[in-house]
Amino acid sequence: MKIAQFTDILKGDAQADSVVPSTGHSAWLTLFTAGAMTFLAVFALALSLASGRLANRWSDALANTATIRIAASGDQMEAQTLRVLDILKATPGVASSRALTDDEQKALLAPWFGPDLPLDQLPIPRLIELTEADPGYDAEGLRQRLVAEAPGASLDDHTRWRKPLAEAAQKLRLLGIVSIVLILGAMAAMITLAASAALEANAQIIKVLRLVGARDTYIARAFVRRFTLRALIGAAIGAAAAMTGIALLPSADAAGGFLTGLGFQGAGWILPLLLPPLAALIAFAATRRAAFSKLRTLT
Amino acid sequence: MIAFQNVAYGYGGAELLSDVSLRLAPGSFHFLTGPSGSGKSTFLKLCYAELLPTQGEVMLFDRDVRSLSRDDVALTRRRLGVVHQDCQFLDHLPIAANVALPMAVAGYPDQPQDLSDLLAWVGLGQHANVLPPSLSGGERQRAALARAVITAPDVILADEPTGNVDWEMSLRLLTLLVELNKMGKTILVATHDMNLIRSAKAQVATRVLRIRDRRIQLAGADL
Ligand SMILES: Nc1ncnc2c1ncn2[C@@H]1O[C@H](COP(=O)(O)OP(=O)(O)OP(=O)(O)O)[C@@H](O)[C@H]1O
Ligand SMILES: [Mg+2]
């Protein structure tokens, strides 16, 4: 029922509208508040979407792969590598494992030492990449077996440094969502204040309308419609400005830095478009509440 | 239509009206007189539920005003046309829109056909598009009367409708009320103007209520 009233109210009724004079400053206040708050909400939304993506990427990497490094002298190296691969095959929770080839290791090291590294003549550790199954393996148990059977091998499962980052990204996403809720709450509060001020300023008009037989819904409508439309327009401007700003940010590159990854991606662009209707809905509810509670104090 | 049963009213302090019992029968024409400050406007406010009695019962169209919800009050007021002593207009809307306001709030968005006839009758044909604050006191009263009768309500309550107009215009406005009364409408006019009352008595059956010592009495034949 309320939704029908909400869509109804946007259609308009010029006659019912004109019974309340448009009050300059509360109009601008609502327009500006809705615009500024929606602008901020779009950024908070972008922030929480970006940190959400980051959190997912980092926890995926966390969950899926780990590296075993084998440092041993020449003849031991080959034996320990084979031993570790055997151990991994027998370890429940490890989906696959393989030793990196010399070329792959060279490629990994090239950025630091250049392309012409004589790998076979250097005591470079051998790397084994393992992919985790679901459910995962017991990292501590694997570590102990490696110590016992291949003393040169050590397991690096990234957890130590990535876990806090993934957690931080998740918290950032939560903060973004909390910010959106707070911003929308502040918008509701400010629109309520503006609406109450407008109702107060028009007390005499409300009195006359009541005297000639106007029902509360008729009077409230004139105010509610006005504030809802202003909030919708203000929020649309705010959202458009913020989305333009975000679209103009340098796009995310492969390195996926957090700042350059702040934009919306794909279907994510739809979310900020939902904010103006949401702002209108908030203005509708806030003004309606303010109007009816004010009207109840009059005869 | 309107019935008072042992009604008392006071604005916080001493009682202004006490033990008022009376009935305005359908189709009756009453005048209400009394000294300034005796409570004529207060009595009318009790009749259209702007005030609720401090004691006793006010029945509007057979319903106790205390039992009316806010929407009921609005719907009841649509059956009453009221000329307020201080007129009560929307100052940002032209006279025509103000006069048509009872129609508009009742859900008839278009201006009624006979609006210009009505405005011409009360001598405001030239002022349809003027804002209320730029009208004279008498013009405002005429506009208020036009607004009170535009919906042809069952009951018309007029508080000093001729207070600021010349005699000729007073008679014109009275004719409007008399015609409505002949159509069966119930009329109550608060006034100081004895000539107006005499003139009405010559045209229709009227009764005069007088406020004296906080009571409302039917006046004798001395008028
Ligand atoms: N809102 C109010 N609060 C307190 N006292 C009021 C209020 N309205 C009216 N009064 C007092 O009640 C008394 C009656 O007022 P009312 O307006 O009913 O008189 P009236 O008979 O219509 O007078 P007049 O002929 O001058 O219009 C007056 O003494 C007035 O001061
Ligand atoms: Mg009075």
pLDDT of residue A252: 55
Beta carbons of A216 and B71 less than 8 Å apart: yes
Cβ atoms A264, A278 nearer than 8 A: no
Per-residue pLDDT averaged across A30-48, rounded? 93
Q: Chain A contact for B97, CB < 8 A?
A: yes
Q: Do B102 and A213 touch (CB under 8 A)?
A: yes
B217 lines ligand 1 (CB under 6 A): no
Supply the pLDDT for residue B163. Answer: 85
Contact with chain B for residue A78, Cβ under 8 A = no
Structural domain boundaries in chain B: 1-79+154-223, 89-152
Is some CB atom of chain B closer than 8 A to the CB atom of A11? no
The answer to whether the CB atoms of B105 and A213 lie below 8 A apart is: yes
pTM higher than 0.90, yes or no?
Answer: no
Mean pLDDT of A273-296: 93
Q: Give me the tens of pLDDT residue by residue for chain B, a chain 223 residues long.
A: 899 999 999 998 889 999 999 999 999 999 999 999 999 999 999 999 999 999 999 999 999 999 999 999 999 999 999 999 988 999 999 999 999 999 999 888 666 778 888 999 888 999 999 999 999 888 999 999 999 999 989 999 999 999 888 999 899 889 989 999 999 999 999 999 999 999 999 999 999 999 988 999 888 654 4
Instruction: Tell me which residue of B199, B194, B196, B202 sits closest to B219, measured CA to CA.
Output: B194
pLDDT (tens digit, 9 = 90+) per residue, B43-60?
999 999 999 999 999 999
Q: Are B20 and B216 in contact (CB under 8 A)?
A: yes
pLDDT the model gives residue A6: 66
Q: What is the CA radius of gyration of chain B?
A: 17
A218 touches chain B (CB under 8 A): yes
Q: How far is B90 from chain A (nearest CA, A)?
A: 6
DSSP H or E segment with residue A10: helix A2-11
Structure tokens at B47: 């009749």
Contacts of B127 (CB under 8 A, 6+ apart): B95, B119, B135, B139, B143
- What does the pLDDT read at residue A258? 57
The tens digit of pLDDT for each residue in A67-105 reads: 888 888 777 888 888 888 888 888 888 888 888 888 888
Cβ(A276)–Cβ(A237) below 8 Å: no
Between CA B117 and CA B115 the distance in angstroms is 5
CATH node for B1-79+154-223: 3.40.50.300
CA gap A106, A11 in Å, rounded = 68
Asked if A19 and B78 come within 8 Å (Cβ–Cβ), the reply is: no
Give the pairing type, strands B207-212 and B186-190: unpaired
pLDDT value of residue B223: 45
Whole-number percent of chain A with pLDDT over 70? 86
Q: Tell me if B16 CB under 6 Å of ligand 1.
A: yes
Q: Nearest-5° angle of CA A256, CA A262, CA A263? A: 105
CA–CA distance from B143 to each of A54, B47, B76, B135, B148 (Å)? 70, 21, 22, 9, 9
List residues, by chain if needed, whose CB lies under 5 Å from ion ligand 2.
B 40-41, 85
Q: How far apart are CA A10 and CA B61, in angstroms?
A: 37
The HSE-up count of residue A161 (CA atoms within 13 Å, CB side) is 3
Is the minimum distance from the CB of B38 to ligand 1 under 6 angstroms? yes
Per-residue burial over B11-45, b = 16 or more CB atoms within 10 Å of its CB, e = otherwise = eeeeebbbebebebeebbbbbbbbeeebbbbbbbb
